[in-house]
Every structure is written in C-alpha cells, then in structure tokens.
Amino acid sequence: MEQLEELSERLQKLPPVKQYRIGEVANYSGISRQTLHNYTVMGLIRESNWTEGGHRLYGEDVFNRLSKIEMLKSTKTLREIRLMFDRHENDQDLEDNLVSMS
C-alpha cells in the first residue's frame, strides 16, 4: 500500500505532457500549416485537444506520426497511408509492419 501511495505522489509531480499548436508543429517539423491541416482533415494525424479559443493542440506523438507519413509518401498515396494507420491499432503495430516490409 505504501508503494502505491509513493507512485501516486510521483505521478502527481510529473510535468504535464507538452501540447503544440499547429504553428509550433509546423516550425519543428518543417511541414506547412496547410499540409498539417490537410493531414488532420484526412485523419492522418489527430489533435489531442483544443484551446479555449478553438485552436488545435497536438501531442508529442504527432512528430513520430509525421515522420512515418513522410517516409511512406515515397511509395504510397496519402489514402493508402491513412488506410495503413487505420488497420493498426497503435504506432508500434505499424512500426512492426514497416520493419517487416523492408
């Protein structure tokens, strides 16, 4: 029971997960805001939250997803990529599939 309380205290001290506005994602990834918007509309990436002002916020995992999209674009259409993402429950499943394809 004591260990559970210690773990609970440590988890409460963790900093919140960083969320990025679309402009920050564009700056860090080198992908235009319009392309990021298109990827969101197409379901290739997902916002993790919204600000009170209605701006999209993306989690840290968006950068890994964008890397995969950029890699796959050389051999697949965006529709095919979205279907691949839809078939895999999480990015690790997709990662395993990509490794087996190469």
CA distances from 59 to 4, 42, 67, 71 (A): 28, 18, 14, 20
- N-to-C CA span, the chain: 47
Instruction: Compute the distance between CA of residue 95 and CA of residue 5 in angstroms, rounded to an integer.
Output: 35
Domain limits for position 22: 2-101
Q: What is the dihedral of CA 15, 21, 25, 26, to 10 degrees?
A: -160
In this model, does residue 75 exceed pLDDT 90? yes
What CATH number did the domain enclosing 54 receive? 1.10.1660.10
Flag the least confident range among 19-28, 59-68, 80-89.
80-89
Domain count, the chain: 1
Would the pLDDT of 1 be above 90?
no
What does pTM read for this prediction?
0.72
